[in-house]
Each structure stands twice: as structure tokens, then as C-alpha cells.
Structure 1
Amino acid sequence: MTAATDEQILVLLQQPDSREQGFRLLMSVYQERLYWHIRKMVGTHNDTDDVLQNCLIKVFRNIHRFEGKSQLYTWLYRIATNEALTFLKKAQRRATDSIEGHAAVFQLQAEASVDGEKLLQKLDAAIGALPEKQKLVFRLRYYEEMSYKDMSVRLQTSEGALKASYHHAVRKVEAALKEGL
């Protein structure tokens, strides 16, 4: 993504007669990257589509607030992250007892040979049971192999705090995986 293309998108979005064209261009350039970022946080396709739609609506309504102090994708990424976190918090509140929901997955019995599918289910459940910040940091570091420096810029927090969150998340995931083995 070049800065010129971001500039073109922003110019189109700022003009009333080309705003829709600018938004279509923004979506064609960034929608897939935002989808996969959100998908790693919320887990399912349907939830991801809902969060992405909310994200894009927020972008469309607030593009005039983009100050250009960062790259356009960084601003979009932050909005997507906040929308996903808001979704996850609402989902957690709606769950009558989220711990019981995760406990069912942890009760898988270990077999003589390790079943890869069950192991993946346990890993997903262990990650899903993490506090939101630890879950986000774990997924960015483990799945996307993002550096602490890049995470620090994107999430606007210190590298030390991110390292601590990742360390705690790894310990919790390891403990959950060892529980049934």
C-alpha cells in the first residue's frame, strides 16, 4: 500500500460527490486485511462479518477525524481492534456463565494417541478463556508473529506490558493444555 493510494482514498472521501467512490476504494484495499485481523480475535465468520460491518460504518462516519498522524491502515486497525474488543465484552456479558462454557472443552479426556483435532479444540478454548488483552497479544504474537515494537505502536501500550501479557497468556495456555494430557 503506497501513501499515494491512501491520499487518493482520503481525497475522495473528503469530497461529498466522490465519498461513496472513496469508501468503495478503501474497502477494496483494506477490507480483507481487516476481516482477518478481526477473525483472529472473534473466531467465527458470522461474528467477524458483524464486527467488520460495524467497523466500516464507524470509519465512514468518522473519516473526517483521521488526522494523518499515522498510516491509514494503522487508524483502521485500531478501530477494528476496538470494535472487536467491544463485541467480545458484550458477548461475555451475555453469556450466563462463560467459565462453564469453556469448561466443557477442557473436559476432553486424553487418549493413548493424541488426537490433533481435540488438541486444536483445546488450544482454541484455552486462548478463548484468556482475558481480552492477553488474548489479543497472544494471537498477534503467536499467529501473526508481530514484533512487540509493532504491537506497541498499534495498541498504544509499552513493549514491557505486552511482553508481560504474552508471558502470562503462554503460561495459562500451557496449563490448560497440560490439564487434559
Structure 2
Amino acid sequence: MIRLIVGLGNPGPEHALQRHNAGFWWVDQIAQREGLALRAERGFFGDVARLRGPHGDVWLLEPGTYMNRSGQAVAALARFYKIAPEHILVAHDELDLPPGQIKLKLAGGHAGHNGLRDIAAQIGTPQFWRLRIGIGHPGDRDAVVGFVLGRPPRSELERIEQAMQRGLDELPRLLRGEFEAAMMHLHRGNVPPAAPAKESPK
């Protein structure tokens, strides 16, 4: 079962609406739905809330470090509460999925995502769950940094929000450890990427 849910992002109002903060957005939605307030915890290097559930406490965490040091917060809280890596779920932005898609997986590489890279390094293993929130790709490797630190247009944001809502709908299954069922429902509901606009004939 999941005992720690981590949302990845960069702290500060200047980053709040950037694609790279999609993990924060999802954890904020959980907190809002459950009537919880994330509060700064210096010992855990981030903002924390406790969700009391039928299967025990589940911690919500938004690291207060920048993205490339996310593992500091995750490792501190996981060590304190003795949470094994396979009981951790990390929600993050995913370049390899278009807006409107969301996928769940256990372990794997970091695909250049600095938050995932640091978490794996700090807890000593990549064997944690990931909720991959599609934000799309700019199409040019050199444009990635500016893209993830940019704001999605309204049309993309609506698709991202729809995908995150489906992630929220699967939260009860995740908290019960029903990962295969959650995966099936999430992946089956993924919308196809938006078709590129056709050029008008000249």
C-alpha cells in the first residue's frame, strides 16, 4: 500500500503555474479534496500533510528544495516513518506523454528528470511508484528546459487537469495497494494526442 505520496515541483509563486509543477498540482488536489493543509516541516525539507485512512496514515509531501534536490525531503520523511521505497508514490510531469495522458508504473529510469534522479540517489533505489502526468514535448531537445518552465496554454491545461482528475479517482485503489486495477483504469482512459492542425490549401 502507498504510505507516502510525493508531488514534484519547484517552490515559490514564480513557478506555481509551470508545467514542471504538475506533481505539486496533483498533491494540492488531494489535499483540497480531503480538507487538508500542507504545512512547512523543516525536518522534512518541505510541506507535509497527514491523510488518515482506513489502512493507516498516508503522508503527502511537496519538497521545498528545488527539483534537483527533491530526494533530500523524500529520504528524510521515509527514513523517519520507516517507509519502504515500494510504498512511495511520486507524481511528476512527463515529457514522453502528451497532455491528457497519465500512467502509473513501478521503478524504471529517470529519463532525464532531475527530481526522479535525485530521489533514486537519496533513497538508494529506483524501486518506487511513479504517477506520470503527461505535459507533452516541445519537439526539440534544446527547448526542453524552457518548455517545462513555461505555462501550458488553456487547451493543454484542461487536458492535464482531466488526466489528473482520473488519477484522483484511482487514489482509493492506490491506497489499498490495488496497483494493477489502478493501472488498467488509468491507461484505458487515456485520450489520444490532439491531432496537429491541418494547413489550409493555397
User: Normalising to structure 1: TM-score of the pair?
Assistant: 0.27
Query: Larger Rg: 1 or 2?
Result: 1
TM-score with structure 2 setting the length:
0.25
Counting helix residues as a fraction of each chain, which structure ranks higher?
Answer: 1
> Which protein is richer in strand relative to its size?
2
